[in-house]
Amino acid sequence: MAASAERLRHAWGVHAVYVRDIKPGVVELRLVGFDVLRKVRMPRRVDGGLLRVPVALREDATAFLRDYRAVPHELVLGATLSGKSMYLRNLLTELAAQPVVLVGIDCKRGVELSPFAARLSALATDPEQAAELLPVLVKEMEDRYDLIKTRQGITPGTPDELITSDVWGLPESERPAPIVLFIDEVAELFLVATRKEEERRDEMVTQLIRLAQLGRAAGIYLEVCGQRFGAELGKGATMLRAQLTGRVCHRVNDEASAKMALGDIAPEAALAACAIAAESPGLAVAGDTSGGWSRIRTPYLSLADAAAACRRTAHIAPDVAALKPFRPYVPPAPAGLSGPVATTKPVTE
């Protein structure tokens, strides 16, 4: 096999299989999962910039970028074993390499997000902890609004370019680090058994809606993941969903679930999600409320490699004093796993 194809195989992981060289720098690939043949020029790594990370491959062999500045909040839906965790794993690992504060709520006792503890500034693993963490994030957001306001009124005659309505307009030295909050299996936050739990749920949902409505200007972004996200979850669910304008829908069990994710984007996108086969985990339909959508596939990334990437980047996690009490316990690295680890990277031509 030609050297160019070797490089491609390495860069694309198991998701693109070399078919033949067409001419120097151009090869034909079968994109596993999409089941189509593509002519692809030699890919180079995507340099997305802060908060703009490659996370999957599009059907046309270009990289799908998760761009928080353009689409601040996202909903990732899919049935069990459809590939949601793999998507989050890729996203989290890419963000971990940037000066971004990563926060997790994983009410499945932390089984999904704990492996990334070394890079997480805060982690809540049950609804009680989430109920303590969310108001701290809301307070952080309010403090950031105060900072922007102070800057606006700094002195009469402040040059126009220093007048800003979000953290991105602040001078770099004063700008707080962006925060991405990952919520795995959001339904766990909504489910209640007692009246007391219902009150706690209502408070959390209100806090989440506030973060979704106002977070962008404060540099706080949400990545919400679940199997379904409809009105049946209870008060506030549809209001919160409306704020999560980025949508990624993996295989779902019924049309109603696809419509929850994509119905307000494009009916054809919901149909495309319904057509995803059970044997294609990692395949999804991604869109946003502008109406644009495409089929995407996340690269395979093992949990061990993702965890190792988080350990390697732990030292760049920005400090947020208010989150210190929520810092997760980091177990010692397993022997033999502390060295450099190869990870697959979505690439583009």
- Which residues contact ligand ATP (rule: CB under 6 A)? 78, 80-86, 281-282, 297-298, 300
CB of 327 to ligand ATP, least distance (A): 25
Single-letter code of the amino acid located at 308: A
Q: How many Å separate Cα 97 from the centre of its chain?
A: 14
- The CA-CA-CA angle for residues 151, 152, 158, to 5°, reads 95
Kindly list the distances between the CA atom of residue 142 and the CA atoms of 89, 138, 190, 216, 278, in Å, as whole numbers in the listed order: 29, 6, 24, 12, 43
Residues in the annotated binding site: 78-85
Nearer to ligand ATP, 218 or 285 (CB): 285
Compute CA distances 15 → 24, 66, 75, 205, 303, whole Å. 22, 19, 24, 38, 17
Cα–chain center distance at 343: 18
Q: Name the residue with the smallest CB distance to ligand ATP.
A: 282
Q: Binding site for ATP, residues?
A: 78-85
CB of 303 to ligand ATP, least distance (A): 9
Q: Between residues 80 and 194, which has the closer beta carbon with respect to ligand ATP?
A: 80
Nearer to ligand ATP, 190 or 326 (CB): 190
In angstroms, give the least distance from the CB of 304 to ligand ATP: 12
- Contact call for residues 250 and 276 (beta carbons, < 8 A): yes
Least Å from the CB of residue 349 to ligand ATP: 20
Q: Distance (Å, rounded) from C-alpha 38 to C-alpha 60? A: 8
Instruction: Select 140 or 184, whichever has its Cβ closest to ligand ATP.
Output: 184
Nearer to ligand ATP, 36 or 162 (CB): 36
Give the shortest CB-131-to-ligand ATP separation in angstroms.
Answer: 23
**Dihedral pair phi/psi, residue 301, rounded to 5°:** -140, 120
